[in-house]
Every structure is written in C-alpha cells, then in structure tokens.
Structure 1
Amino acid sequence: MTMPYPGEPFAEAVGEAVQASTMAVRLVLAVADAVRRAAQRRTGGERQLPPVDQALPEAAGDVKARLVPDVAWALMSGPDWPAMAQQLVALRQAGVDLDHFLPQVGGIAVAVRDAVAADSARVAAGRTQEWARVLRATVPAGPVREAILSSPIWPEIAATMKELHDHGIDVRRVLAAAYAEGLGVDRAVGRTLNAPQRSAAAPSRDAVLSYGPLTVGLDLPKDLDLGNRRRALAQLGVSQAENGRFVRWVHEAMPGREREAGLLVGSRQWPLLAARMARMQDDGRSVPDHLVRLMRDRGWEAGPVSQLTARLIHATVAALHRPTHDDLASGPVVTSAARASSAAAGPPPSRTRGTALTGPGTAPHRAPVPRPGTGRSR
C-alpha cells in the first residue's frame, strides 16, 4: 500500500511515535468492540463481524476522512487492519456514530503520538548534548567543528562517539585525530576550488567587533559569521538541541515578556550568548539561575524602544557574568584571571576593555588541538 500523503516520508525518527498512536487506537477499538458484544449479548442478539471484503473499503473511507494522515496510513498498513476494519463497520451497524467516535479516537491517537515524539526528542537531545560538550572541549573552533555540528548526521556521529566510549575507547583521542584529518580535507578542497585558506584570512568584522566581556574565555573563530545563525552556532560549538534549550530557558525566565524574550533570542548576537551559556554548562554552572536576573533587575526597560534589543543583550551579559549570590553587582565581572583564560593571541588587557558588542580588538582564537589527556582546551 502506498502512502496517501506524498512528500511526508514515514521516517524512522517519527515512526515510533506514530506506531505508539496506532497501538492506542487498537486499544480503544478493542474496548469498544468488547462493549458492543456485551451489550448485544444482553439483548440476546450478538451479531458477527461483517465480511472482510465488505468492511475494508467502507472502513478505509471513514479512517482517511476522520484521522490524521500519518495515523490513518499506519493503521491501514498494519497486519491487523482487516480485523480493525471489521470492528469499525460492526460498531456502525450496532448504532455507533462514527462521525463522532472516530474523531475522538483520532484525538487520543494524536495526543499519544505527540507525547512519544516529545519524549524521543528530549532523550535524543540529552544524548547529543553530552557529546557536543566533548566536541567543544577537544576540537578547536573552525571549519572541522562547524562541519560536524551542522551536519544532518550529527545525531549519528554523537551515537558513534557514545558507542566508542562504551567500548572503552578514548573518544577525545579519536576526535583529535579526526580533527587533523578533517583539517587536511578542508584545505585540500579549498585548493581544488582555488579558494583562499580560512586560516590565512584576516579576522571577520563580526569576530573583531564581538571581542569583549561577552566573549572572554570563549572559542571565537576568525571567520565568525553572525549573519548566518545556523553556521554561527556551529562555529561556536553550540548544537541545535542546546540552542533550543537555551531559547526555552530565556522565555521561561521572562514570563509575560514574550516580545522582549523574542527580541533577545532573535538578535544578531544571540549565538554569542548561546555559546556563553554552553560554556557555563560545561563548567557546571546553572544558566537558568543566572537568567532569572533579567526580571529581577529590569534596568533594560528604561530607554528608547529602538535600543531595547541592545539593552537586553547587555543585561543578559551582566546576568551571565554575575555570581548568582551577588545581588549588588552592577555589571559583568571580568577579572584579569578571566581574561587570561581566553585563548592566546587576544589583545592585551589595556586594549580589551569596552562593550561586549562594539569594542575593537582582535578576537581570541584557539591554538591547534592539544595532545589528548590535557583536559579542556579553551
């Protein structure tokens, strides 16, 4: 049987959720059929199920018209569809209004499908999050790390890393070797395309203008491109699953301020804020505990509407830098030790002070990947 809704493949990623919804439909039908039989027996006239050849076309029309396409297709493609079709037609013959009954069943199926899908997404995100942290700690910012995190097969890559780890393999050592090979591939392809090497290029405008309190200690690639959000997140080592979680945390920290939260997460500098949150997670710090300051200290509310986004960004930088127990702090604390933790080749301290968004200077960059076993390389 072909799928009745072309263009929407029955992918493995959603297959489990849809199959769970069909199980719920089977359960409801089984209960309804048992009730039908018992009710007919009480009146002394239990009726047998209609013939399969009669029930199939009649039930198919009802299911296609009253259930969502993916659930309908999964039901009709299952091995027990003929028996289910007989049950449906028998219910109609017994006086059940399928125009009311089937939409109710469909609502149950959709609720089950969405619940299973949400749980699967949560589990998958949790599995990749751990390995995104390992990747950030091992592979320098640049084309190799960007390619890994932005790849459509990143979940499979993360699963492979976990499998290697479960077999006792030092995943960081493998990643270090893979980085070296990947960098060679990137350069070879660049030569073939007659393109200039990224490593030889001057820092991008985004990389230069981003240096400041927001990026202290972060892994800032020389060719940072904040105009392409998906790429910028990958350049900064933030997976899509992590980014989605950070966006949710901002909205949860600003209840009733959906517009302001939307301006913040939609800003050009958002990937830098997301990278800061990812770094805080790697260091074992609770990002939500810092974000609550956005509603406690609402200085960002005062001022021209045209500058609201900039004020929100500044307030978020301050909230992320300030210790959670320090309610009197007025801004980000950027100590000389913190500046020293920034990757080498950054400007000297006298040239790095300024705002997070417009301060001049050269962005810090990662040195080549360290030998395995040296711990985090930031």
Structure 2
Amino acid sequence: MTTPGPEERAGEAFTESAAEAVQTAVMAYRLVMAIADAVRRHQQRRQRGKEDALPTAEEAVNEISADVERLLPSDISGALMAEADWPQLAQQLLALRKAGVDLDQVLPRVGEIAANVRDQVAAKAEEGPTDQWVRAVRETLPAGPVREAILTSPAWLEMAATMARLEERGVNVREVLAAAHNEVLSVDQTVAKGLGAAAEPVMSRDAQLSYGPLTTGLDLPRDLDLSDRERALTQLAISPQENQRYIRWAREAMLGNVREAELLVTSRQWPLLARRMAQMETDGEPVRERLARLAEDTFWQAGPDSQLATRLVQAASDALCRPASEAPGESRVTVNTAAARATSPSVGPTKAAKAAAPAEAGTAPHRQAAPAPKSGRTR
C-alpha cells in the first residue's frame, strides 16, 4: 500500500471536516425538533390531559421522507435520513403535522438553522492555528507599521503560541496588545529616525485613491500597497485562510458568472473588499447574504467591458454596505474630495499627503470617522 501524498491527505482532511460540519448540523436539527416535539406533547397534556400517540415508524417514513428531501438542504437531509434513528425522527415530524403544524413553513426555517451551524463548523475547520490571533491583532491594533511588523515577523507563530498560553492562564491578551502598542510604536519611530527614515510612513497613492465609499469606516495603513497582494492582505490583517473563504463566498454569490467572479476576486481592490468582509464578520453582519445581492442587483452588467472589473468592485462594495431598506442604484460611488485633491495635478504630492494625513500616526481617517464597532471591543 502506498503512502498518501500531500494532496490526497489534504483532500481527506477536507472531506472529513465537511462531514463533521454536516453531522453537527444534523445534531442542531435534532435539538430543534426535539424541542418542538416536547412543546407539542406539553400542549396536548395541558389541553387534553394526555399526549397523542405517535404514528407508526413505517407510516411516518413513507409520508415524511419526500418532504424532508424537498424542504431541507440536500446534504443535511441525506445525512439525517441515513441515521439509525431516522424512523423515530420521522415519527416526530408526522406527529407535528397531525397536530396542525405546517411543515412547509417549519422545516425550511429549521433547515436554515442547521445550515448556519454547518457553515460555522466548516469555517472554523478552515481556520489555521493562528487565525484567531490574526483577528485579535487586527481588532486591537490600528493599521500601521506595528501591526504589519507583528504579522510578518519570522517569530509570528511563536508569538501566537504565547498569546494562546497567556489566554489559557486567564490573561486578557487584547489588553496587553493595546497597552504595548504606543510603547512599541515609539521604538519603531526611534529606530526609523536613527536610520534616517521618516518616522511616519508616506501617504501612498493607493491609500489616497482608496479613500471613499469603498473604505469608509475601515482602518487603512498610510503606506497601503495594492500592487503587492500578499503584502496588502498582511497590512489589512487578513489571513490566507480568511482570504480564501471570502473568495469562495464571492464565487458562490456569482454562480453562473464565472468570468465576472474571477475579475472581482483578482481585481486590484479585492483586499479592500476582503477587509470589509472581515470587519462585517467581527460586527456579526451577514456577509454571505449581502454578497448574494450581486446576483440580484446586476447594474454592474451595463457599461464598457473594459471597466467591468471596476463596476464589479463598486457593486460588491454596495452589496456589502447597503442597508436592507435601501434599493440598489446605478452607481453609489461618490466623489471623495480629499482623494480628488490628493490626485489633482494642481496640488503637489507633499501638500496632498499633508491634506489627507490622519491625525493619528499610522491610522487612516476612516478610524476617526467610523462608528464604534458593534462587537463592543475597545482598542
């Protein structure tokens, strides 16, 4: 027997994690249906003094199976009906129907709960061993040289392991990071001065051009470099696992538009969209539901083909940021006067950088203007 290669082992691990996610979803389904069955029994005892007898297992399986296949996600219904206790679960469902419960209304909602559990478990399985600490650094420290230095350090894995050990001992790691930030920033500035470099990073053209609807409320490093995707993702504190997850979600949202989806996820501005999705996840916002608007609001289709990637980025930003009560528009992009001045030929680059420079070192103006995060975390 030959030893499986790396690709085979990775495929097996993916299959196992996907199966675990579905089985966890089935557990969630069981819990919800057990609660529903308990409520049915309790109500019948209160009203009649006794419970209705369950239908036979054979009757329940014959009558309910087709409805379960029709109303639940296929992977969850398949796993559910393959379980040894499926006849008992079918009896519960048929008893609910006979008690007057509309399964066409209830089962899809229960299926949504189970699917959400499945997706959460799958997302957790995709995370690397240090992903939670990438998030902690992103959510605690402002964009800038200190955050980038931490995430690109050769000692990052060791630092993440130390954070994990501190947390296990009851230490609030975020407080430690926040308290250390200003001291470490002064070290960065002192060393930079000693080397004859500017203490603060120069306002890059990417940072100037990014100001506007695409980045409102996000913290951008002043030396943002979108020409180097790997570095841009690090500057924005997006881990490789998070980036792959967001790419997959974008492709799923544009199912049937393969070329357009690839244009979106390979666009120069993609790291900014990924940063938006990461912020929304932190705030508990429904990222995938918002992205689904790309298939519904297709104003990005109209216009020159040469500008399609730009329109897709704008549409994705609109889909993520637009409140549910607002209708989509032809284009929601507005002129940002600071960026316009910064790129105007009548304004020198030095003056433009000063005009757009944030008050806080290493932090974009978006951080001063943005509302407090919903998660309640403080920096």
Q: TM tier, shorter chain?
A: 0.5 to 0.7
Q: TM-score normalised to the size of structure 2?
A: 0.57
Q: For 1:157, which of 159, 163, 176 is the aligned residue?
A: 159
SS in 2 for 1:198: coil
Separation of aligned partners in 2, 1:128 and 1:331:
41
Q: For 2:335, which of 351, 354, 361 is the aligned residue?
A: 354
Task: List alignment gaps of at least 5 residues for structure 2.
Answer: 18-122, 343-355, 368-374
SS in 2 for 1:277: helix
The residue aligned with 2:11 is 114
Separation of aligned partners in 1, 2:340 and 2:255:
32
Aligned amino acid, residue 329 of structure 2: S
Q: Report which stretch shifted further, 188-197 or 286-295.
A: 188-197
Cα drift, residue 143 of structure 1: 0.8
Separation of aligned partners in 2, 1:198 and 1:358:
19
The residue aligned with 2:266 is 266
The residue aligned with 2:32 is none
CA contact (8 A) 2:301 2:308 kept: yes
Note the alpha carbon deviations across 1:208-227, whole angstroms, 9 max, x for none: 11111111111012111111
The residue aligned with 1:8 is none
Q: For 2:193, which of 191, 194, 210 is the aligned residue?
A: 191
Report matched runs for 1:218-367 at 5 Å.
Answer: 218-323=218-323, 325-326=324-325, 328-330=327-329, 353-354=334-335, 359-360=340-341, 362=356
CA contact (8 A) 1:226 1:269 kept: yes
Change in Cα spacing, 1:155 to 1:294, as seen in structure 2 (3 Å) is: farther
The residue aligned with 1:175 is 177
SS in 1 for 2:127: helix
Separation of aligned partners in 2, 1:113 and 1:224:
34
The residue aligned with 2:204 is 204
Cα drift, residue 242 of structure 1: 1.3
CA contact (8 A) 2:190 2:199 kept: no
Aligned amino acid, residue 205 of structure 2: R
Aligned amino acid, residue 150 of structure 1: T
Change in Cα spacing, 1:154 to 1:247, as seen in structure 2 (3 Å) is: farther
Aligned amino acid, residue 262 of structure 1: E
CA contact (8 A) 2:200 2:361 kept: no
The residue aligned with 1:348 is none
Separation of aligned partners in 1, 2:136 and 2:281:
12
Separation of aligned partners in 2, 1:222 and 1:151:
20
Separation of aligned partners in 1, 2:229 and 2:282:
22
Separation of aligned partners in 1, 2:183 and 2:163:
17
SS in 2 for 1:162: helix
Q: Report which stretch shifted further, 185-194 or 159-168.
A: 185-194
Separation of aligned partners in 2, 1:262 and 1:227:
17
Aligned amino acid, residue 290 of structure 2: H
CA contact (8 A) 2:214 2:272 kept: yes
CA contact (8 A) 1:264 1:270 kept: yes
User: How many percent identity over aligned positions?
Assistant: 50
Aligned amino acid, residue 255 of structure 2: P
Cα drift, residue 239 of structure 1: 2.0
Cα drift, residue 130 of structure 1: 2.9
Change in Cα spacing, 1:271 to 1:119, as seen in structure 2 (3 Å) is: farther
SS in 1 for 2:220: coil
Separation of aligned partners in 2, 1:305 and 1:332:
16
Change in Cα spacing, 1:204 to 1:234, as seen in structure 2 (3 Å) is: same
Separation of aligned partners in 2, 1:221 and 1:110:
36
The residue aligned with 2:50 is none
Cα drift, residue 360 of structure 1: 4.9
Cα drift, residue 284 of structure 1: 0.4
Cα drift, residue 258 of structure 1: 2.2
Cα drift, residue 135 of structure 1: 1.5
Cα drift, residue 117 of structure 1: 6.8
Cα drift, residue 359 of structure 1: 5.0
SS in 1 for 2:208: helix
Separation of aligned partners in 2, 1:319 and 1:288:
10
CA contact (8 A) 1:219 1:365 kept: no
CA RMSD of aligned residues (A): 3.5
Aligned amino acid, residue 237 of structure 2: G
Aligned amino acid, residue 167 of structure 1: R
Cα drift, residue 276 of structure 1: 0.8
Note the alpha carbon deviations across 1:292-348, whole angstroms, 9 max, x for none: 11111111112111010011011011101113x4473437889xxxxxxxxxxxxxx
